[in-house]
Structure 1
Amino acid sequence: MKSIFVAGLLMATSVFSAAVPVSAAVVSAAPHKRQLESQGSILDNLYQQIVAQTTQINATRDSAPENPSVLEIPGIASEINKNFAAITEALKQAATKSEAQRNATPAVAARQDDGGDDDDGDDGDKCDAACITGKVLDIVYEVASTIRSVIEKFGLAPFLLRINPLLLALSALVIGLDVLVSGLLLTVTAVVNVILGGLGLSLLALGFAAA
């Protein structure tokens, strides 16, 4: 199901991408290979942290009554909001680390990678622009689909104060990576519109504008 969704999404966003001019800065400053590999490792680590939190969110959601009362929802929301806050913090830390890697010179980036950052693992090796896009889409799909499932069962109001900063943190990460992978921002915006658009949520688009 997910593979069908992503395949259809990539077809749709390719049309939008063709209409967006690539800036001269992007063309003239192709990312260094080691920079992309470093970003891949950061994204792998981030995805693992997010899945740990969304797994807990899904467990809380599934264990809740099918139609929770107004008295039950605050307690449920309190638990889920803790997980949303943890995801937000993980996104912020990843964005900070991602920016530091982007700002490092190729030689410094290579030395940092060769030094072996155990926290990020080795899965970022040989990662190119398409690889980065795939990893980001996995993260966005995991976050957005979890948000949607929570809102569908409990409503938006109990989670709005946590979802908004979460999406702002996600947008900040994607905007930074868009410097290395042209068109990434457009693709991610389309993902979120597809997943959350039916709920009338345009929070991520607002986050992109504000970041």
Structure 2
Amino acid sequence: MKSIFVAGLLMATSVFSAAVPVAAAPQKRQLESQGAILDNLYQQIVVQTTQINATRDNAPENPSALEIPAIADDINTRFAAITEALKQASTKSESQRKTARTIVARQNGTDSGSDDGEEDGGDKCDAACITGKVLDIVQEVASTIRAVIEKFGLAPFLLRINPLLLALSALVIGLDVLVSGLLLTVTAVVNVILGGLGLSLLALGFAAA
């Protein structure tokens, strides 16, 4: 699985150079509020993927039709928790972006520089930092999905995987406003890890463009 992700990163390198802020001054202030949100999200996801991997590893190599439902119920519950964590992170991320835009607008309309990012309290991230954190999340989610599908097949999990990918897409699309090219970078990696399933991200990216 690690080698698959490395291949994905190599494939995405040509796109990665595009993942830079479009307008450095205001977007730097906006980016600074996102690091802690992504770090917290990653930790929440790892809690769930660790349990998914344990369930997968402890399952029989060739589970019977009678065994699959219980396994799928457990894993799907974890996928649903990841989806909810992604949605909450997207909401927090958008809220922080609005706060940062308000601060920038106030400073541009008055004379003060005293509010320079004081409300974010997060990592001081630039575009490369945000991209790295997002790719860590994508690796964790996509690699776990692929491992589950390889062992149990897609059908028992499809109804949970689709909303999960949509929630991941929404988070990335929101951050792509700040880090130009992020969506393309993530799409390249997801398509390598998940193949055709990665087209969910690509299709959403085109729809949002």
TM-score normalized with structure 1 length: 0.82
Are the aligned partners of 2:32 and 2:125 in contact in 1 as well (CA < 8 Å)?
A: yes
Rate the CA distance shift 1:91–1:14 in 2: closer, same or farther, 3 A: same
Instruction: Please list the CA deviations of residues 54-96 of structure 1 after superposition, one character each: whole Å capped at 9, or x if unmatched.
Output: 0010011111101001111011000000000000000000000
Once residues 36 and 47 of structure 2 are traced to their aligned partners in structure 1, the CA distance between those partners, rounded to angstroms, is: 17
Are the aligned partners of 2:34 and 2:123 in contact in 1 as well (CA < 8 Å)?
A: no
Indicate the residue corresponding to 1:203 in structure 2.
200
Taking the TM superposition and a 5 Å limit, the aligned residue runs for 1:43-122 are: 43-104=38-99, 105-106=102-103, 110-114=117-121
Taking the TM superposition and a 5 Å limit, the aligned residue runs for 1:154-193 are: 154-193=152-191
Rate the CA distance shift 1:162–1:30 in 2: closer, same or farther, 3 A: farther
Are the aligned partners of 2:38 and 2:134 in contact in 1 as well (CA < 8 Å)?
A: yes
Are the aligned partners of 2:8 and 2:190 in contact in 1 as well (CA < 8 Å)?
A: no
Tell me which of the two structures has the higher relative contact order, counting C-alpha pairs closer than 8 angstroms and 6 or more residues apart.
2
Indicate the residue corresponding to 1:147 in structure 2.
145
**What count of residue pairs does the alignment treat as equivalent?**
194
Once residues 117 and 140 of structure 2 are traced to their aligned partners in structure 1, the CA distance between those partners, rounded to angstroms, is: 30
Given the alignment, which residue of 117, 122, 125 partners 2:123?
125
Indicate the residue corresponding to 2:12 in structure 1.
13
Instruction: Please list the CA deviations of residues 128-177 of structure 1 after superposition, one character each: whole Å capped at 9, or x if unmatched.
Output: 11000000000000000000000000000000000000000000000000
Once residues 37 and 116 of structure 2 are traced to their aligned partners in structure 1, the CA distance between those partners, rounded to angstroms, is: 13
What runs of 5+ residues in structure 1 fail to find an aligned partner? 115-123
Rate the CA distance shift 1:125–1:65 in 2: closer, same or farther, 3 A: same
Once residues 83 and 31 of structure 1 are traced to their aligned partners in structure 2, the CA distance between those partners, rounded to angstroms, is: 37
TM-score normalized with structure 2 length: 0.82
Are the aligned partners of 2:41 and 2:86 in contact in 1 as well (CA < 8 Å)?
A: yes
Measured after TM superposition, the shift of residue 127 of structure 1 is 1.2
Rate the CA distance shift 1:203–1:27 in 2: closer, same or farther, 3 A: closer
Measured after TM superposition, the shift of residue 207 of structure 1 is 4.1
Does the alignment pair 1:135 with 2:127?
no
Indicate the residue corresponding to 1:118 in structure 2.
none
Root-mean-square deviation (Å): 2.5
| Amino acid paired to 1:27 | V
